[in-house]
Chain A
Amino acid sequence: MTTTVSGGTPDSLPLDVAAVRADFPILSRTVRDGKPLVYLDSGATSQRPVQVLDAERRFLETANAAVHRGAHQLAEEATDAYEDARARIAEFVGVVPGELVFTKNATEGINLVAYAMSNAVTAGPEMERFTVGPGDEVVITEMEHHANLVPWQQLCQRTGATLRWFGVTDEGRLDLSNIDELITERTKLVAFTHQSNVLGTINPVRTLVERARQVGALTLLDACQSVPHSPVDFAALGVDFAVFSGHKMLAPSGIGVLYGRRKLLEAMPPFLTGGSMIEMVRMEGSTFAPPPQRFEAGVPMTSQAVGLGAAVEYLSVVGMDRVAAHEHALTERALAELTAVPGVRVIGPTDMESRGGAVSFVIDGVHPHDASQVLDSLGVAVRVGHHCAWPLHRRLGVPATVRASFYLYNELSEVDALVAGVREAQRFFGADRP
């Protein structure tokens, strides 16, 4: 895409995949002895268009400097570029720039909140909102990525609070039947994924937020798999915190985002401390800057933030509704074709109701690792293993799965390549005959 192509496309027209693909140089390479690359691992990390690469390079070639310090021209321009990126990203997810903290990745964003909550324990009575201790509960779900699971386990271990979780149904949906027993007056925080990185399941955010609000609990949304793939408005969803990662949405690695409602960020104690995040430092003690700077200690990643700004611009020009519709078509095709192959079992919803573009499956008689090796030999890149969601795999009774995950640059023919590869894996391991 030269920036004009999709920008000039009326909303009614579908995404122009060929034009999009032309923006991603890596997609034209071959792998494993000349096979065209079929990249179906965007759930792990996405590829980057030239517009993002160019934005990073342009910044580094013309305006690079440490932001929020120094008064020379480069420092000024670098700070502007950094804050412009923040504003653009904030608008992309429906919030104001001051509510958006740059982090290394989504994992760091979640840890930031978890550590701020344990820091609150020793920070005085005005931090009561954030403190957790014996008798308090943190509620998560069994379908969480380890990034939204281990930090809360650790918080509970440090503070004596209790971790509780929603179960998952056999169909791969959140089991909300006991929501009123799980989220109670004892609940301090409810943390859950917007869209499962394994199942593709999209969770009912409003239902969970509504219940959390009834009991005065905070909410944190892991939006790593939703923000890159569909229009998401944190303010409209009503969550207190949310996180996502740049590298899963066409941007560089090393940049992630924590959203926090302004009132909460203003009240919350810091996690990492040091330069940039202070208001006044004396040998006897320090006071802290207002958010978001309070949570951005040290010289931050700058070209990466600029890259993420360029990525959301790219996605906005293409149109998130169009991206979502395109992935919907890819996923629908994948589900239809995979479920038609004898011996293949999709793990997660097999209909398109509240479902995104991650399709995980197992093949009778072929271990996922072996299946991925066959797919790789055909140029098809998928993820295998437990996808950092080990408890979920245990719950669903499978040690590992194969996962294909789609993005705006994937073509329907690549779904066909996946399915052909699955059949080839069955043939190779003799699993295609009874």
Chain B
Amino acid sequence: MNLESMYQEIILDHYKNPHGRGLREPYDGESFQVNPTCGDEVTLRVKVADGKVSDVSYEGQGCSISQAATSVLTDLVTGHTVEESLTTMDAFVELMQGRGKVEPDEDVLEDGVAFAGVAKYPARVKCALLGWMAFKDALAQTPHGERAANTVIE
């Protein structure tokens, strides 16, 4: 096993220097998610303005994968429309659940493509999706949250 295939430099960079970390006001939706098998947790807030995700803020503790994935999440959705952010989420979820067989689209997932290696390790997929579960749940509480509420991440 090649550790570097999972822990790409991009992931380690986000882990050591996370983007957008900290809980901020104001917000329209908030979600606390925990991975019951390992105890990793994240609290994530979403602010929506003019149909766009204007801020994502979060606090949490967990492994490099869960923390880096949440940092990448903030980059991918902040400033984008709710619809775009959910399309990105779908692409990330598809990548993570693809057992390493899904070719990621860098135009959509940007730094998120670095998680392609993680998808080969089923035990770690939940780590990468923890922040996205919180994002989906927080977004569902906002006035634009209908589609998020109807999306299931397994």
Contacts and interface: CB of A to CB of B under 8 A. Distances in A.
Given A386-B38, A399-B40, A400-B39, A369 B124 contact: yes
A32 B1 contact: yes
B1 A370 contact: no
Contacts of B40: 369, 399-400
Nearest to A386: B39
B38 A369 contact: yes
Chain B, interface residues (CB within 8 Å), range: 20 to 34
A393 B61 CA distance: 14
A367 B63 contact: yes
Nearest to A399: B39
A398 to B, nearest CB: 9
Contacts of A33: 1
B1 A428 contact: no
Contact of B3 (A367, A384, A428): A428
A410 B40 CA distance: 30
Interface in A13-46: 32-33
Interface stretch (A194-202, A296-304, A372-380): A372-380
Contacts of B37: 385
A377 B120 CA distance: 13
Interface string B59-70: 001111100000
Contacts of A374: 3
B6 A373 contact: yes
B44 interface: no
Given A369-B65, A428-B3, A400 B124 contact: no
Contacts of B124: 369, 373
A399 B37 CA distance: 11
Contact of B64 (A32, A370, A385, A399): A370
B27 interface: no
A377 B3 contact: yes
Nearest to A34: B1
Interface string B1-24: 111001100001000100000000
B138 interface: no
A390 interface: yes
A390 B39 contact: yes
Contacts, number: 50
B51 to A, nearest CB: 37
Contacts of A430: 16
Among B38, B40, B41, residue most surrounded by chain A Cβ atoms (within 10 Å) = B38
B74 to A, nearest CB: 20
Contact of A376 (B1, B38, B61): B1
A110 B12 CA distance: 44
Interface in B68-109: none
A430 B17 CA distance: 14
A374 B12 CA distance: 14
B38 A428 contact: no
Interface string A408-434: 000000000000000000001110000
B129 to A, nearest CB: 14
Contacts of B113: none
A200 B61 CA distance: 26
B1 A367 contact: no
B39 A385 contact: yes
B42 to A, nearest CB: 12
Contacts of A399: 39-41, 61-62
A393 B39 CA distance: 10
Contacts of B39: 385-386, 390, 393, 399-400
A377 B100 CA distance: 17
Contacts of B41: 399
Contacts of A385: 37-39
A390 B6 CA distance: 28
A34 to B, nearest CB: 10
Nearest to A365: B16
A400 B41 CA distance: 11
A368 B127 CA distance: 13
A284 B16 CA distance: 70
A376 B65 CA distance: 16
Contact of A367 (B6, B16, B64): B64
B46 to A, nearest CB: 24
B64 A429 contact: yes
A393 to B, nearest CB: 7
B67 to A, nearest CB: 8
Interface in A324-362: none
Contacts of B121: 373
Given A385-B37, A399-B39, A399-B40, A377 B1 contact: yes
A100 B142 CA distance: 57
Interface in B99-154: 121, 124, 127
Given A373-B3, A374-B3, A399-B41, 11 more contacts: A32-B1, A367-B62, A367-B63, A368-B38, A373-B6, A385-B38, A385-B39, A386-B39, A390-B39, A393-B39, A399-B61
12 contacts: A33-B1, A369-B38, A369-B40, A369-B62, A369-B64, A370-B64, A370-B65, A373-B3, A373-B7, A376-B1, A399-B39, A428-B3
A-B complex: 4 closest residue pairs judged by Cβ atoms: A369-B63, A32-B1, A385-B38, A367-B63
